[in-house]
C-alpha cells in the first residue's frame, strides 16, 4: 500500500476519498475564522504523500542557457528575503456536487469546503528565478513545477504558470515553507510548496522538487488533460482538451455556510454566514443575500481583513442578520458576490455545467424550514 506512510488527519474533516486523501472542513468550521487552522485546511491529494527528509531536501531550479542551475537546500531557501502573504486556495472542483446534481460529471464530490485561507511565508519565486539568471522574455514562456509525489510509473504531479506572473513581484508568487507560522504540514506540501495568489489550487504544487522555464506549458496530465472548462454541449466522446486553455485565475465565488441545507431554524430572526472570493486579485465589493429565492435582496456585511486593490488574494467572510417576516414557514436563501471588475455569479448551474464539474460559481442556494 503506497499510502501506509500518509499522515494522520483531523477527525472533523469530511473525507471524500481516503487513498489518495481528499477532505474538506464542514461549513460551520470553515467560516469560524478568517484564517483556516492548518488541521482543518482542505486537502486535495492526487497521489500518496511523499515523506521528505528536510535535511537532504533539495530544490532543483533549471537555469537559462548561460545562466546558473540552482540546487537549493532549505537553508539556502531561507537566505532569500522572507515574504508573507495571506492567500485563499480554492480547488477548481469546489461545489462540484451541486453541478453533479444537475447532470452527471466526473470528479470528487466536493461540497462547498474545497477552499481555505492561510498566511503563507517563503521566498518569492521571482527572486529565486532571478538568481538562476532568468529574465522576462518577449516570447511565450511558462514556469513548470514538479512535485516529489509520483504515480506507480514514476510520473510526478506537475503544473505550470505563465512566466510573466512568476516574474512579477506584485503577483507575490511564493515558494512557501511556512503555513500559519508553522512548517508546512505534510498534507500541504512539506517542506516547500508553490503558492500562486489568485490562481486555481492545482497550480500550487506541493512537495516541490523541480522548477524550470519552458517555451510551453507543463506536459503534466493535470495541466493538459484536466482542469479546463468546456461548453455544456461537450461530452466525453467529443471533448478536445487541446482546444481549451488551462484554468489559471478563478471566477468570482461565494457560498453560504450557515444555516445549512435542510436545517430547521427558529422564527424571529436569521443569521446567514458565508465566504466570498474572486481570482486574479480582484476584490469582493459586495455580497447580496436573498431569503426568497432571488426575488428580493439585501446587502450582507463584509468581515475580515480589508482587501488591497488588484492584490485581493484572500477571501472575505460575510454575514447578514435580519428579522424574519411573521408566518414564514420556509426560506430559500441565496447568495451571490460581485467583484471589483463587476463580475457576477450565474444564477444556476445549467449554463456553466461542464463534464469535469469544474468552475461552479452559480448562486449558492440553501433551503431551510422555520419553526412557528
Ligand atoms: N501538488 C502536488 N504535488 N500533488 C497534488 O496532488 N494537488 C493540487 C495542488 N498541488 C496537488 C498539488 C490541487 S488540485 C489542489 S486544489 C491543491 O494542491 C490543494 O492544496 P491543499 O491540499 O494544500 O489544500
Ligand atoms: Mo484541485
Question: Does any ligand 1 atom lie closer than 6 A to the CB of residue 25?
Answer: no
DSSP letter, residue 76: H
Probe residue for ligand 1, chosen from 110, 122, 204 as the CB with the greatest number of ligand atoms within 8 Å? 204
Which ligand 1 atom sits nearest the alpha carbon of residue 227? 14
Q: How far is the CA of 228 from the centre of ligand 1 (A)?
A: 16
Instruction: Please write the tens of the pLDDT for every residue from 272-323.
Output: 999 999 999 999 999 999 999 999 999 999 998 999 999 999 999 999 999 9
Region 37-52: what's the mean pLDDT? 98
- Ordered by where they begin, the domains of the chain are 14-243 (3.90.420.10), 253-371 (2.60.40.650)
Question: Among 21, 107, 160, 206, which residue has the most ligand 1 atoms within 8 Å of its CB, making it the best to mutate?
Answer: 206
Q: How far is the CA of 271 from the centre of ligand 2 (A)?
A: 31
- Alpha carbon of 3 to ligand 2 centroid (Å): 19
State whether the beta carbon of 145 lies less than 6 angstroms from ligand 1: no
- The arithmetic mean of pLDDT across residues 202-226, rounded, is 98
Peptide bond into 259 cis (omega under 30): yes
Name the average pLDDT for the chain.
Answer: 97
Burial class for 35, CB neighbours closer than 10 Å (0-12, 13-18, 19+): middle
Is 96 near ligand 1, meaning CB less than 6 Å away? no
> What pLDDT is stored for residue 372 in this prediction?
83
Across the range 153-166, mean pLDDT stands at 98
CA 204 / ligand 1 centre spacing (Å): 6
Task: Write the DSSP symbol of residue 39.
Answer: G
Q: What is the average per-residue pLDDT within 105-132? A: 98
Ligand 2 centre to CA of 67 (Å) is 33
CB burial readout 159-197, b (16+ within 10 A) else e: bbbbbebbbeeebbbbbbbbbbeeebbbbbbbbbbbbbb
The pLDDT assigned to 81 comes to 98
> What pLDDT does 77 receive?
98
For residues 284 and 339, the answer to whether their CB atoms sit within 8 Å is yes
pLDDT-above-70 percentage for the chain = 100
**Residue 4: how many CB atoms within 10 A of its CB?**
7
pLDDT at position 269: 96
Q: Which ligand is nearest to the CA of 115?
A: 1
Measured from the CA of 201, which atom of ligand 1 is nearest?
Answer: 16
Can you give the pLDDT at residue 233?
A: 98
- Residue 194's pLDDT is 99
pLDDT at residue 325 tops 90: no
Task: Give the pLDDT confidence score for residue 304 in this predicted structure.
Answer: 87
The predicted complex's ipTM stands at: 1.00
Give the residue from 116, 105, 94 showing the smallest Cα distance to 16. 94
Of all residues in the chain, the percent with pLDDT exceeding 90 is 98
Q: What's the confidence (pLDDT) of residue 10? A: 98
Say which residue the cell 516541490 belongs to: 208
Assess whether the C-beta atom of 146 lies below 6 angstroms from ligand 1: no
- Does the pLDDT at position 199 exceed 90? yes
| Cβ contact 274:258 at 8 Å | yes
205 lines ligand 1 (CB under 6 A): yes
Amino acid at each position: 500500500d503506497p499510502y501506509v506512510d500518509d499522515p494522520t488527519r483531523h477527525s472533523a474533516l469530511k473525507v471524500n476519498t481516503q487513498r489518495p486523501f481528499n477532505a474538506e472542513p464542514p461549513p460551520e468550521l470553515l467560516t469560524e475564522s478568517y484564517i483556516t487552522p492548518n488541521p482543518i485546511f482542505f486537502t486535495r491529494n492526487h497521489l500518496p504523500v511523499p515523506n521528505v527528509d528536510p535535511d537532504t531536501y533539495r530544490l532543483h531550479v533549471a537555469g537559462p542557457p548561460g545562466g546558473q542551475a540552482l540546487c537549493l537546500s532549505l537553508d539556502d531557501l531561507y537566505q532569500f528575503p522572507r515574504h508573507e502573504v495571506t492567500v485563499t486556495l480554492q480547488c477548481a472542483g469546489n461545489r462540484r456536487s451541486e453541478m453533479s446534481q444537475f447532470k452527471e460529471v466526473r470528479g470528487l464530490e466536493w461540497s462547498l469546503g474545497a477552499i481555505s485561507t492561510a498566511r503563507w511565508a517563503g521566498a518569492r519565486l521571482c527572486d529565486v528565478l532571478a538568481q538562476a539568471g532568468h529574465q522576462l522574455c518577449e516570447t511565450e514562456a511558462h514556469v513548470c513545477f514538479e512535485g516529489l509525489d509520483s504515480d506507480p510509473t514514476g510520473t510526478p504531479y506537475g503544473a505550470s504558470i505563465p512566466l510573466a506572473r512568476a516574474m512579477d513581484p506584485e503577483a507575490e508568487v511564493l515558494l512557501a515553507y511556512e503555513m500559519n507560522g508553522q512548517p508546512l504540514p505534510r498534507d500541504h506540501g512539506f517542506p516547500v510548496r508553490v503558492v500562486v495568489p489568485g490562481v486555481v489550487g492545482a497550480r500550487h504544487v506541493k512537495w516541490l522538487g523541480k522548477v524550470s522555464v519552458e517555451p510551453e506549458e507543463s506536459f503534466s496530465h493535470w495541466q493538459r488533460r484536466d482542469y479546463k472548462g468546456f461548453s455544456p454541449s461537450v461530452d466525453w466522446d467529443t471533448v478536445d482538451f487541446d482546444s481549451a486553455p488551462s484554468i489559471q485565475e478563478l471566477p468570482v465565488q461565494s457560498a453560504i455556510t450557515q444555516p445549512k441545507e435542510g436545517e430547521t431554524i427558529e422564527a424571529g430572526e436569521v443569521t446567514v454566514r458565508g465566504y466570498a472570493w474572486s481570482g486574479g486579485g480582484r476584490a469582493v465589493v459586495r455580497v447580496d443575500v436573498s431569503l426568497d429565492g432571488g426575488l428580493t435582496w439585501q446587502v450582507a456585511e463584509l468581515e475580515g481583513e480589508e482587501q488591497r486593490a488588484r492584490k485581493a488574494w484572500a477571501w472575505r467572510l460575510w454575514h447578514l442578520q435580519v428579522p424574519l417576516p411573521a408566518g414564514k414557514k420556509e426560506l430559500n436563501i441565496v447568495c451571490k458576490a460581485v467583484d471589483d471588475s463587476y463580475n457576477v455569479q450565474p444564477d444556476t448551474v445549467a449554463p456553466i455545467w461542464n463534464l469535469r464539474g469544474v468552475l461552479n460559481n452559480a448562486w449558492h442556494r440553501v433551503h431551510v424550514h422555520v419553526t412557528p
